[in-house]
Amino acid sequence: NDEGRRPDAPPPRSDAASPQPAGGFVDEDYAYGGGGAEARESRFRDLDSDSLPSAFAYDDGYGAPAASFAEDAGETIPPLDALPEPAAGRPAAPTAPAPAAPAPAAPAPAAPAPTATGAAAEDLLLQAVIAEGAGSRYDALSLDGGFRGRFGASDPYYQRAHDGLRYGPHQAAQDSGELGELLALMQETDGTTFAQIFGSDAGELVAVTTAEGPSGLDSPGGRGPRVQPVAGRDLWEEPWLERFRNAARHAPFQAAMRAQILARRLDPLRPVAQALDIENDRGLAMLLCLGIQRGVEGAMAHVGGAVNPFDTPARLGAALDALAFTDLGAFRAAKGLPPGDILDGPTHFALIDALRALGPDSPVQVPDAEGVLDALVTAAGPGPLGDALLRLRVSPAFGDLAAGG
């Protein structure tokens, strides 16, 4: 009952929260802190532990040791066929030495391997990024983790609103509508298998997760219209968890996840790649990693902090003077950005792009592409994100040619 509650008060704390033992935080998929090794082991329950292996090392980023999920080697070579038996009633023909085989001719030069271009090349690029461990597994799930405290007490959802299920390498979130968009794309990709996996409630699942309306952060009780039970159960409960894991094993649905990642994580960062002159496989791979792990806004903030040639008012003023603008508002208007006199992410990278065009006449130093990539790793520091960026920075799987080239 919300009667008597102030309009500006946060939604009431839900009874759905897991208990907070003195020895550490426990939720349904991860446990944190407190106690000795034996106590921690007894409290730890990872609902992803029975997921099928994938071909890369998965580090959940929450203190658990990284585990190798490399797939087994390919199929064994079958034995040679047995020699045929002689026909009935006839002796086997004597075996004569085989004539010497002629010297083999010089092999013809191999035809160049076909090169994927466009969307196909970017899909292969993303597969390589995931294989390097820069994203979670396809079947990775977060079970209302924001509300339960998986992302810390500073997370806006913590004990205030339900973020719901998060799913896939990029953790498409239920409350934001990204999970619903992904489910609709999966249904469009292979409707028959979608119905087989999600059952008779598949239609309701898509309808609920794609519903219009505010976030749970702006909804009474902390539940938005997209974070409602389907067939009487929340999506972070069984039988939904097993259904989502089964869906993640279907290759067309994995392709749908990658298509959404490219559209929702890479496309908004393309102006960043252009401004920094890193529109190559390695540069896009590192931006994808940031977009997957931190979201678009977090990725822009990371790159902007790592590459900031106008970090003082004097340098910013010199940059605007060199570009013949009186202030940031005039520059933003010229670039078609919203009115204002603020140095936000889009303005930051538009300025860098304009300064790069000045070449040696730029009053502030703009790092070259190699310097940019190094700065992205350095700014991350040690930890899961920094480790992932470093692997992408040095991996031979990525070239420094233009993407798809």
358-397 pLDDT tens trace: 999 999 988 999 999 999 999 999 999 999 999 999 999 8
Q: Does residue 136 belong to any structural domain of this protein?
A: no
Q: Does residue 15 belong to any structural domain of this protein?
A: no
> What is the model's pLDDT at position 400?
64
> What is the model's pLDDT at position 13?
44
Shared domain for 231 and 319, answered yes or no, is no
Shared domain for 237 and 333, answered yes or no, is no
Triad 27, 28, 29: Cα angle to 5°: 95
Q: Does residue 150 belong to any structural domain of this protein?
A: yes
Q: Does residue 31 belong to any structural domain of this protein?
A: no
Residue 217 tokens read as 């952060």
> What is the model's pLDDT at position 343?
92
> What is the model's pLDDT at position 117?
61
Shared domain for 284 and 372, answered yes or no, is yes
Q: Which backbone phi and psi does 45 adopt, to 5 degrees?
A: -140, 115
The alpha-helical segments, DSSP class H, found in 335-395 are 345-358, 369-380, 384-394
Shared domain for 198 and 314, answered yes or no, is no
Q: How many domains does the chain have?
A: 2
Give dist(CA 177, CA 157) in Å, integer: 15
Q: Contact 17/148 with Cβ under 8 angstroms?
A: yes
Give dist(CA 228, CA 48) in Å, integer: 23
> What is the model's pLDDT at position 118?
76
Shared domain for 273 and 375, answered yes or no, is yes
Q: Does residue 49 belong to any structural domain of this protein?
A: no
> What is the model's pLDDT at position 143?
97
Shared domain for 224 and 279, answered yes or no, is no
Shared domain for 195 and 311, answered yes or no, is no
> In sequence order, what are the residues at sequence separation of 6 or more whose Cβ sits closer than 8 angstroms to the Cβ of residue 111?
none
Shared domain for 361 and 305, answered yes or no, is yes
Kind of pairing, strands 165-167 and 172-173?
A: antiparallel
> In sequence order, what are the residues at sequence separation of 6 or more whose Cβ sits closer than 8 angstroms to the Cβ of residue 135?
129, 169, 170, 261, 289, 292, 293
Last residue of a domain, one of 220, 248, 276: 248
Q: Does residue 148 belong to any structural domain of this protein?
A: yes
User: In which domain, by residue range, is 362 found?
Assistant: 266-394
The alpha-helical segments, DSSP class H, found in 199-236 are 202-209
Identify the CA nearest to 310 among candidates 360, 353, 263. 353
> In sequence order, what are the residues at sequence separation of 6 or more whose Cβ sits closer than 8 angstroms to the Cβ of residue 25?
31, 32, 33, 149
Shared domain for 295 and 366, answered yes or no, is yes
Shared domain for 271 and 369, answered yes or no, is yes
Q: Does residue 206 belong to any structural domain of this protein?
A: yes
Q: Contact 373/283 with Cβ under 8 angstroms?
A: yes
Residues of the chain with pLDDT under 70: 1-117, 400-405
Shared domain for 242 and 281, answered yes or no, is no
